[in-house]
Structure 1
């Protein structure tokens, strides 16, 4: 057998360069775009040496935060419809631990992410190594064992020859459209430099075919039989429609049989928002039209959705409807005790369209009327104006502080919904927006009009604060010819914005629109709507009189911080300033940040059957909490049991 003597790291780089994917049209592309690195003693002389000596086609990117660079890699793969990935390597200990959150984000969203965290010495010499955690009951454990719970595949390469089986398994999971996520290959730092005689066959070009799974004849027959019994089915467009690139087939199915459809966060912009049958976002963060029609439906058809608690309103919305699922994953298709089609979305929809033939729903004017009612509400939300004396905010629950205090401290009268409405109008129609956490995802799912496909990039499977800016960088790498806007709250920005620097370093221009309401506004709303007073969710200084965090509102100039990194920045307190900033940002070639001061409690509230099951204290001295607990118990009785 012909062999070549390489270090484990050199063999890894050579193997990654030989991985390809082939698509339906026969086009072949490298599976690996490149690798994000933050070097330390655990990987700089192992994998780092191999990447410097002979990187092949792999582009090497210098991250600023291990979680941030891995989030960028997730966003890149997501925008590429899971058909190309960027790997990430970090040093031993804290560097590797920083990627655990990103691994969880990838796995929750079923996005392929390849991680190479460095590990402690396999030889246990030295023992303990710098940054090693010593578990007295098990010396085989290291920081990297924390990845086991959040990875779809986990391995530790303790001998150089183990790399071969580890990486073949890694490729299997990365290209598994039904069950992908984070793949973690732990690399002890001594083993990274150890040499072995690898067979040349290990480095042969490998083509991974993303074959579409056909629905079984039996599942088609069962689905058709179920649909024919129903008069008012309702479609849910999930992320699987986007990954399958099945938008045309989805529309053909909906139009042929006159079935309204809604969108999940992952599915939104899979089809244009303006389509007559598209009634918008569904569930806890859904609008009135989608929630009304879903509640009245006699069959829910979920295409490529995981049916999270937000999509089902904690199994309260469509609690008594039959459910049909189309999903590549048997696990997700089996939720809600559904009739299931385990298949690729495109092929399943084509099969159903053909078999249903002359079937028609009984919808007449209900869809148009529901959409018209929502359009009127949407117009109102976009044009709310703050007035000092009689202004009633959208979120009204036991607000302890006058908005006038925020108006004065933040020097703004801008409602959040008004800013979003105008931003939607003023940015290019083909621009891509990214977001992940806080109140913005709810506002966006309800209010954002996606004028073109695949322009709405939300991470809401994990709702991971700090994903926003790193994801904009990853999306820009995937689609460099489009403007990309990260929409983020001040809380998420403070949590993680390090890859703004990397975007400037790489020359990938991103635009950050930062909504500053001086606090974790979404969670402040949650606690106050569930009977609590405001508690440690607003950005207030400690009050020397009370000893609590109920003092003066903090004023932070985020534009100044980003300006120091080299970004072009803008400070916005009025709509005119916002429009001017957006127009000028379009002309820039460097990353930009628009620091928009907005009033709290001016985001959207819930619509229709948008209950969300949140843990509530069963007993409390606060009577408001007792009332909320009783309401929770009442809603639970109406929810689907399993």
Structure 2
């Protein structure tokens, strides 16, 4: 007979214990129970192959493993999976110590900035130090215990280094608690490579299945009443929907409030698609990449209610978009710090529960906006919709004479379409259940401005970190979360981003994942070229051009001045590049060719890349707002001095709120 005073144990290595524990953790939200971490991704090196590599091999039936090409991209996959899962699940990512671990730092920053859960398990240097300096060890002259993994500390929501096997007993539950918290982000459990293989007698109950609730904090009745009073007193109210609406699943509650009170609704990047029904009050993006209709209303609004948003620089046009001298702010957010932004009166609560309570109060009070405010909203939006339709129409040839005056050279390419017209074709093709993804450069701003993300056409815009290289692996993460092949997962990314990080196409091909990558080829980092022209008036180092003559770095008498990057556009075959990485790749130039490429590849099993040449410097209509990006205060170039004067005039529109 077993002595009840003796605790039952199981002897496992640290790595085996980690994998076993992760395979038995569940999240619970609104009655739905699901695996919190259903798989691991990674690349093995000497810092993790003998420990975590062995454990993942032995326990692969319990925690499947996905092989990747770049550690940063693997973190992006996990992050996108978490976002597409409404933060109810994520993936684990492992890497070797040194460069492999540091490759994950950018991905960790993106996750934490966007409050998205991801679990990172980097290898670390030997805890015993018996080996002395080996490959990839940081030998800090002052901090003897420092390793490269300490770089994760300032960008993680939780960090722990396991130097004893029994430390897992407290570290892993703390990690799970952070992953399921409302204020989540990157969770890093650093695992010295020797400790990974050390064994310990763990309590059996440590590996029992455990549920982690995703909480919905209830609103305080007094806070709801205060905001309801402010809304009743407002003559020109505006709602700004952020990512918190999406994560909370509060779309119907938001729609009910807007419909009941007749309040126009704008969306941030993360909040794109927060409103799913088409209604007169559903307006789209706000701020720097918003619509002129929304920004005009924001300038007049005397009351602004933000829901699940931090109101960052792009949304507020550098604190300049709200021009009404009497404007007041209120905010709904699960994070108390974010609730108080712009001096807002806050409801610290879950968006779904808070919106439901506020709607009840609004209906009880009979609060409804004036016919004049509703009429102005309709009129401005009607005007914008006409401009939007014209900009997206691929059947209207683009007039090169319409390029901005500061466009230094009329581009000579084979492009017939603008990026806006390409987006129009993608919009035409999109079906309910499809997801479009963008993260850096021009695509996320253009989608924020013109994409119709209603009626189940989802937009996955990562712009809290504007991270080039996110888009392609994000398609893999979204596809893991949305396995139904009838629902298309499409990433829109520029040629600059694609050339930076194309290699996860191999992973998509290896896993036979139906993802579509559409590349508008405009021969450069053109969105930064646009900003450069706006702030310095000269193109420099942003277009993909040959250097004529050569670059002579050695100092020598008689050498000519170095030639600038001002030759013809680079000849880069993106189709062959993508094809060589395992994708079904093709080039489409005309509108009909784009339509055919989209239709013919919709059911393709595996990754698809469609390269579409687009006219450089041909932008969508502007948003009509100012932005705080300062030209050089001192310059010998007259164009810079002129732009500096214009910038200083714009500073008068910037305001600060207590």
| Normalised TM-score (structure 1) | 0.96
What SS does the corresponding residue of 1:569 show, helix, strand or coil?
Answer: strand
- Choose the corresponding residue for 2:227, options 223, 227, 230: 223
Looking at structure 2, the residues matched to 301 and 454 of structure 1 have their Cα atoms a distance apart, in angstroms, of: 25
Looking at structure 1, the residues matched to 358 and 396 of structure 2 have their Cα atoms a distance apart, in angstroms, of: 50
Contact 2:398 2:417 in 1 (8 A): no
What SS does the corresponding residue of 1:512 show, helix, strand or coil?
Answer: strand
Looking at structure 1, the residues matched to 80 and 635 of structure 2 have their Cα atoms a distance apart, in angstroms, of: 43
Contact 2:395 2:591 in 1 (8 A): no
Following TM superposition, the consecutive aligned residue runs of length 4 or more in structure 1 with deviations greater than 4 angstroms are 384-390
Instruction: Report whether the alignment pairs 1:364 with 2:374.
Output: yes
**Could you say if the C-alpha distance between residues 401 and 113 of structure 1 is closer, same or farther in structure 2, counting changes exceeding 3 Å?**
same
Residue matched to 1:641? 656
What SS does the corresponding residue of 1:114 show, helix, strand or coil?
Answer: strand
Residue matched to 1:197? 201
Structure 1 residues 85-96: aligned runs within 5 Å: 85-96=90-101
Structure 1 residues 155-174: aligned runs within 5 Å: 155-174=160-179
Greater Cα offset, 483-492 or 361-370: 361-370
Residue matched to 2:584? 568
Contact 1:397 1:529 in 2 (8 A): no
Contact 2:585 2:610 in 1 (8 A): yes
Contact 2:332 2:339 in 1 (8 A): yes
Greater Cα offset, 593-602 or 271-280: 271-280
Contact 2:431 2:457 in 1 (8 A): no
Instruction: Report whether the alignment pairs 1:402 with 2:410.
Output: yes
- Choose the corresponding residue for 1:453, options 453, 456, 463: 456
The Cα shift of 1:207 comes to 0.8
- Choose the corresponding residue for 1:47, options 52, 58, 62: 52
Contact 1:430 1:451 in 2 (8 A): no
Structure 1 residues 52-67: aligned runs within 5 Å: 52-67=57-72
Looking at structure 1, the residues matched to 257 and 397 of structure 2 have their Cα atoms a distance apart, in angstroms, of: 47
**Could you say if the C-alpha distance between residues 57 and 215 of structure 1 is closer, same or farther in structure 2, counting changes exceeding 3 Å?**
same
Residue matched to 1:348? 354
The Cα shift of 1:454 comes to 6.3
1:31-73: CA deviation from partner (whole Å, max 9, x where unpaired): 1111001001000110111111124531211111101111011
Contact 2:441 2:527 in 1 (8 A): yes
Contact 2:242 2:308 in 1 (8 A): yes
1:488-526: CA deviation from partner (whole Å, max 9, x where unpaired): 000110111222111111121101100111100000000
Q: CA RMSD in A?
A: 1.6
The Cα shift of 1:158 comes to 1.0
The Cα shift of 1:386 comes to 7.9
Greater Cα offset, 138-147 or 361-370: 361-370
**Could you say if the C-alpha distance between residues 273 and 465 of structure 1 is closer, same or farther in structure 2, counting changes exceeding 3 Å?**
farther
- Choose the corresponding residue for 1:277, options 273, 278, 281: 281
1:295-352: CA deviation from partner (whole Å, max 9, x where unpaired): 1111110000111100111111115421100000011111111111100001111111
Structure 1 residues 517-556: aligned runs within 5 Å: 517-544=522-549, 547-556=563-572
Residue matched to 2:555? none
Contact 1:117 1:184 in 2 (8 A): yes
What SS does the corresponding residue of 2:91 show, helix, strand or coil?
Answer: strand
Looking at structure 1, the residues matched to 606 and 189 of structure 2 have their Cα atoms a distance apart, in angstroms, of: 35
Greater Cα offset, 538-547 or 326-335: 538-547
Residue matched to 2:478? 475
Looking at structure 2, the residues matched to 504 and 61 of structure 1 have their Cα atoms a distance apart, in angstroms, of: 12
Looking at structure 2, the residues matched to 615 and 2 of structure 1 have their Cα atoms a distance apart, in angstroms, of: 65
Residue matched to 1:592? 608
What SS does the corresponding residue of 1:471 show, helix, strand or coil?
Answer: helix
Looking at structure 1, the residues matched to 128 and 87 of structure 2 have their Cα atoms a distance apart, in angstroms, of: 37
The Cα shift of 1:587 comes to 3.4
- Choose the corresponding residue for 1:601, options 570, 593, 617: 617
What SS does the corresponding residue of 1:576 show, helix, strand or coil?
Answer: helix
Structure 2 gaps of 5+ residues are 1-6, 551-561
Contact 1:280 1:289 in 2 (8 A): no
The Cα shift of 1:387 comes to 6.5
Greater Cα offset, 255-264 or 569-578: 569-578
1:134-191: CA deviation from partner (whole Å, max 9, x where unpaired): 11111111111111121111111111111121111111110012x1000111110000
The Cα shift of 1:211 comes to 2.0
Looking at structure 2, the residues matched to 373 and 586 of structure 1 have their Cα atoms a distance apart, in angstroms, of: 34
Structure 1 residues 261-276: aligned runs within 5 Å: 261-272=265-276, 274-276=278-280
Contact 2:394 2:591 in 1 (8 A): no
The Cα shift of 1:641 comes to 2.0
Looking at structure 2, the residues matched to 492 and 345 of structure 1 have their Cα atoms a distance apart, in angstroms, of: 34
Instruction: Report whether the alignment pairs 1:631 with 2:610.
Output: no
Residue matched to 1:333? 339
Looking at structure 1, the residues matched to 356 and 591 of structure 2 have their Cα atoms a distance apart, in angstroms, of: 46
Instruction: Report whether the alignment pairs 1:259 with 2:259.
Output: no
Structure 1 residues 69-148: aligned runs within 5 Å: 69-148=74-153
Residue matched to 1:383? 393
Looking at structure 1, the residues matched to 235 and 284 of structure 2 have their Cα atoms a distance apart, in angstroms, of: 21
The Cα shift of 1:273 comes to 6.6
Looking at structure 1, the residues matched to 491 and 348 of structure 2 have their Cα atoms a distance apart, in angstroms, of: 35
Residue matched to 2:13? 7
What SS does the corresponding residue of 2:493 show, helix, strand or coil?
Answer: strand
**Could you say if the C-alpha distance between residues 110 and 445 of structure 1 is closer, same or farther in structure 2, counting changes exceeding 3 Å?**
same
Looking at structure 1, the residues matched to 43 and 218 of structure 2 have their Cα atoms a distance apart, in angstroms, of: 42
Looking at structure 1, the residues matched to 398 and 209 of structure 2 have their Cα atoms a distance apart, in angstroms, of: 67
Residue matched to 2:384? 374
Looking at structure 2, the residues matched to 458 and 557 of structure 1 have their Cα atoms a distance apart, in angstroms, of: 27
Looking at structure 1, the residues matched to 400 and 68 of structure 2 have their Cα atoms a distance apart, in angstroms, of: 49
Contact 1:414 1:575 in 2 (8 A): yes
Contact 1:65 1:499 in 2 (8 A): yes
1:567-618: CA deviation from partner (whole Å, max 9, x where unpaired): 111112211211111111113222110011111111224222x222114321
Contact 1:237 1:264 in 2 (8 A): yes
Looking at structure 2, the residues matched to 151 and 183 of structure 1 have their Cα atoms a distance apart, in angstroms, of: 6
